């Protein structure tokens, strides 16, 4: 009679002591649940600075101590995966000698153990690279920042044949796919979910958290530090549906003046041209293209500007855009260059937000523009600063192009019957009124 081979067991108390890993009070019940073999899917909803990086590193390293185990850490960017990997390297150095493991960096960072186990760091910005592998443990870090459908389309199958486990861990971002996964796992017999506010970690003192609470909008603080799912907390633009106009596109009116916002392509991005009527504030013309040689791009910009009464061009002149701007000036067009920095981008987004909220701009019923506006969100840094960006894997070229066009408008009020002074743009400065992300 043969007996079933027992799965090797790890003494976690001894391992944590050897690694110098001391879980804080909020991590202890999470570890106890995760280490239950009957749990297959785990969703950890964490506030910032809760300590998820060390927890991810510990769980991944623990899995590799077992023979012939395959582990993935997937995150939106390589920088995020490297944070956990750095902790794993620290752990392995406390138990093994260099010859007992090997690290390679191409095409992705991978650590191989002498016992046949390995761990690889993957990024979700290249979905094709996530297809075809099988793993025992899949850890998806900052899961809420992955593009929609990435898990279902590329990652779900990776744990099927090896009967593996998936750990979704992230700060929430509104009611997106991560929220729905949280709800799904919470109702499963073999699932475990946990809300982990930043206050769980004793290093986040009440004084520190109170300072952040006062500096951030309430909804964003609750999302980022109380680990709460809040609908629209990360969204910058509201009332988008109210500014959609099916009759936006128009031929040029001889007595009207126009402004053309030009966001130039960077690597895999798109060049987007957005032409706005300064009288009606309608987007009267729009163009979007990529992988086109610059001479053709230049011709499109020049042609559109001239068609709309030599429209004033406000163009992204950051980096490679600077020589392009100089080249366009030789066409005797009115060019205002806009250099993107953290401060100038904030001002641009805040002004566009104001115009959308007060219905001072009208956009065509173009799904690409609408989707970009709805997906464009707020990011909070570890220091509590707010930045704006599109989710990983998505674009914000339409948002930036529209923002550049709106930068050339001076008020949310449209010009009705009075004739605009043709030299107004030389006498007035664009509105730079500060507004909050959420009201």
- Residue-wise pLDDT for 32-56, tens only, equals 888 888 899 999 999 999 999 899 8
Q: Cα–chain-centroid distance for residue 236?
A: 13
CB-CB contact of 40 with 48 (8 Å)? no
Q: Residues 6 or more apart from 6 whose CB is under 8 A from it?
A: none
Return the pLDDT at 421. Answer: 47
Is 394 a residue whose pLDDT tops 80?
Answer: no
For residues 113-135, give the mean pLDDT: 86
| pTM score of the predicted model | 0.72
| Mode of pairing for the β-strands spanning 118-123 and 70-75 | parallel
State the Cα–Cα distance between residues 195 and 95, nearest whole angstrom. 32
The whole-angstrom separation of Cα 329 and Cα 367 is 33
**Torsion sign across C-alpha atoms 402, 381, 21, 228:** negative
What does the alpha-carbon distance between residue 235 and residue 146 come to, in Å, rounded to a whole number?
A: 16
Percentage above 70 pLDDT, the chain: 90
Question: Could you tell me which residues come within 8 angstroms of residue 217 by beta carbon, excluding any fewer than 6 positions away?
Answer: 436, 437, 438
Q: What is the pLDDT of residue 6?
A: 57
Length of the chain: 439
Angle (CA) 125-129-131 rounded to 5° is 120
Whether pLDDT at 435 is above 60 = no
Residue that wins the pLDDT comparison between 320 and 413: 413
Q: Please write the tens of the pLDDT for every residue from 362-391.
A: 999 999 999 889 888 877 776 667 777 776
Strands 118-123 and 335-338: unpaired
* Average pLDDT value for residue range 399-422: 79
State how far Cα 393 lies from the chain centre: 8
| pLDDT attached to residue 130 | 81
Beta strands in 278-432 (DSSP E): 283-289, 312-316, 335-338, 377-380, 386-389
pLDDT in tens, 143-152: 998 877 889 8
Is the pLDDT assigned to residue 427 strictly greater than 50? no
User: Which of helix, strand or coil describes residue 300?
Assistant: helix
Which one has a higher pLDDT value, 434 or 93? 93
**Per CATH, is 12-224 categorized as 3.40.50.300?**
yes
Give the span between the Cα atoms of 357 and 37, in whole angstroms. Answer: 50
Compute how many other C-beta atoms are within 10 angstroms of the C-beta atom of residue 108: 16
**321: pLDDT confidence band, cut at 50, 70 and 90?**
low
pLDDT higher than threshold 80 for residue 234? no
Tokens of 358: 């007060």
* Residue 315 predicted with pLDDT over 60: yes
- The residue ranking higher by pLDDT, 392 or 271, is 271
| Domain pair 12-224 / 240-427, same fold | no
Find how far residue 309's CA is from the centre of its chain: 38
Q: Is the pLDDT of residue 327 over 70?
A: yes
What are the extents of the domains in the chain?
A: 12-224, 240-427
Strand 165-170 with 41-46, pairing: parallel
Confidence at 392, pLDDT banded by 50, 70, 90: low
The CATH number that domain 240-427 falls under is 3.30.420.240
**pLDDT, tens digit (0-9, with 9 covering 90-100), for 163-200:** 999 999 999 988 889 999 999 999 999 999 999 999 99
Q: Residue 417, class by beta-carbon neighbours within 10 Å (0-12 exposed, 13-18 middle, 19+ buried)? A: exposed
Q: pLDDT value at position 380? A: 75
Mean pLDDT, the chain, whole residue set: 86
């Amino acid at each position: 009679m043969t007996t079933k081979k027992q799965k090797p067991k790890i003494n976690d108390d001894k391992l944590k002591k050897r690694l110098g890993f001391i879980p804080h009070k909020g991590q202890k019940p999470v570890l106890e649940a995760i280490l239950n073999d009957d749990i297959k899917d785990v969703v950890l909803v964490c506030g910032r600075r809760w300590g998820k990086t060390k927890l991810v590193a510990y769980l991944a390293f623990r899995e590799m101590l077992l023979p012939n185990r395959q582990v993935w850490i997937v995150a939106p960017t390589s920088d995020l995966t490297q944070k956990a990997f750095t902790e794993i390297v620290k752990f392995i150095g406390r138990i093994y000698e260099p010859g007992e493991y090997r690290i390679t960096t191409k095409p992705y960072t991978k650590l191989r153990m002498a016992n046949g186990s390995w761990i690889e760091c993957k990024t979700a910005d290249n979905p094709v690279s996530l297809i075809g592998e099988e793993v025992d443990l899949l850890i998806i870090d900052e899961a809420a920042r992955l593009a929609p459908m990435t898990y279902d389309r590329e990652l779900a199958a990776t744990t099927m044949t090896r009967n593996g486990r998936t750990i979704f861990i992230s700060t929430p971002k509104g009611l997106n796919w991560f929220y729905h996964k949280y709800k799904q796992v919470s109702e499963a017999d073999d699932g475990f979910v946990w809300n982990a506010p930043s206050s769980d970690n004793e290093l986040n003192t009440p004084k520190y958290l109170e300072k952040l609470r006062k500096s951030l909008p309430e909804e964003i603080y609750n999302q980022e530090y109380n680990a709460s799912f809040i609908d629209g907390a990360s969204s910058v633009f509201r009332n988008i549906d109210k500014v959609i106009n099916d009759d936006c596109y128009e031929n040029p009116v001889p007595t009207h003046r126009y402004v053309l916002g030009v966001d130039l392509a960077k690597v895999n991005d798109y060049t987007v041209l957005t032409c706005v009527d300064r009288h009606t504030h309608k987007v009267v013309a729009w163009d979007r293209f990529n992988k086109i040689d610059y001479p053709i791009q230049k011709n499109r910009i020049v042609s559109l500007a001239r068609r709309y009464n030599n429209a004033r061009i406000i163009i992204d002149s950051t980096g490679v855009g600077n020589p392009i701007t100089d080249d366009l000036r030789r066409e005797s067009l009115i060019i205002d260059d806009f250099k993107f920095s953290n401060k100038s981008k904030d001002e641009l987004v805040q002004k566009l937000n104001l115009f959308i909220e007060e219905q001072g701009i009208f956009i065509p019923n173009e799904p690409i523009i609408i989707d970009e506006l709805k997906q464009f969100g707020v990011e909070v840094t570890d220091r509590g600063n707010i930045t704006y960006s599109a989710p990983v894997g998505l674009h914000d070229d339409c948002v930036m192009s529209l923002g550049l066009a709106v930068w050339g408008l001076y008020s949310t009020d449209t010009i009705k019957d009075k004739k605009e002074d043709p030299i107004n743009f030389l006498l007035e400065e664009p509105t730079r009124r500060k507004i909050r992300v959420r009201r």
